[in-house]
A = this chain, B = another copy of it.
């Protein structure tokens, strides 16, 4: 393979951003772009961009730059986006409903087949044309429908139990929205979305900016 054994997670987390910008460029009809132009657009340095992409073989040509469409295709392949993933949302509450109705996921190859819940009131109903199945039937559903990804939106107290069921059912990955760290075997990939953590970071920087403004005012009044 024309690439290093293990690319750092920090680099991996930057790839979706490249992908997003290249998609926009492609939509705008841009055919090629230099690492300098890409740098101005994305906000990483040109050398950072070249380094990041060199992890996967490097796609630019000296004096030409990057072919936008080719690079985007390559990034799609690297990110594993050239296929369809089947997913199930566990927890048919508000967040689960919102995620199962978000069109953007299907556009990029993530197909939510159903929701699962323990609440007998909602089991059997449909939410945005998607069936709510009984949590007790989740295992067989995952095996029959070849589900790759479980999306956890249950309260944190239930999250580990749900994850255990998903692992036993053979999912490849878990997208976890419960605000708790879940343990899974190494061969199952877990990706956490920490909404509260993100909100706390926002709060931190708002507080810092208020302090800065307060100090500026005091300096002026001296």
Contacts and interface: CB of A to CB of B under 8 A. Distances in A.
Interface of A: 12-13, 15-17, 19-20, 78-81, 85, 94-95, 97-99, 101-102, 104-105, 108-110, 148-149, 172-173, 175, 179, 187, 189, 191, 193-210, 213
A203 B81 contact: yes
Most chain B CB neighbours (cut-off 10 Å) among A110, A200, A213: A200
Given A110-B199, A199-B108, A79 B204 contact: yes
A211 to B, nearest CB: 9
Given A16-B197, A203-B81, A94 B102 contact: yes
A206 B101 contact: no
A204 B15 contact: yes
Nearest to A95: B98
Given A187-B209, A193-B195, 6 more contacts: A15-B204, A78-B204, A98-B99, A102-B195, A109-B203, A191-B199
18 contacts: A13-B197, A16-B201, A19-B200, A20-B196, A79-B200, A80-B206, A80-B207, A81-B203, A94-B97, A98-B99, A104-B195, A105-B196, A172-B209, A173-B205, A175-B198, A189-B209, A191-B201, A193-B195
Contact of A94 (B79, B101, B172, B175): B101
Contacts of A198: 175, 191, 193
Contacts of A149: 202, 206
A208 B99 CA distance: 25
Nearest to A19: B200
A107 to B, nearest CB: 9
A207 to B, nearest CB: 3
A20 B110 CA distance: 30
A17 B108 contact: no
